[in-house]
Amino acid sequence: MSTSTKSKSTSSTKKTNQTATTKMAKKSEQMKYEVAEEFGVKLGATATARDNGKVGGEITRRLVKLAQGKTEENENK
């Protein structure tokens, strides 16, 4: 592989990773506000550490459940 081809490939991969990271950040932010709304927590400087912890804990539970489901899907293939 030539240097220019390798450079283009690396550049393309980097852009794809940046796009994926941006999408995940947006989804994560969206999930945070959805969970906060479900729990009746108003996020911001006035939110208590306990309320923020509840939101963060629920997000973690959901992400773990999602990952476990994906792992089970892959094992069944």
Element (H, E) at 45: none
For residue 33, the model assigns a pLDDT of: 95
User: What confidence tens digit (pLDDT) does each residue in 1-24 have?
Assistant: 555 555 556 777 888 888 888 988
Measured CA to CA, the distance from residue 49 to residue 45 in angstroms comes to 10
Tell which phi-psi region holds residue 11, choosing left (phi > 0), alpha (psi between -120 and 50) or beta.
alpha
What would the mean pLDDT of 48-75 be, rounded to a whole number? 92
Measured CA to CA, the distance from residue 35 to residue 30 in angstroms comes to 9
Measured CA to CA, the distance from residue 47 to residue 64 in angstroms comes to 25
Q: How confident is the model at residue 41 (pLDDT cuts 50, 70, 90)?
A: very high
**Are residues 59 and 32 in contact, defined by beta-carbon separation less than 8 angstroms?**
yes
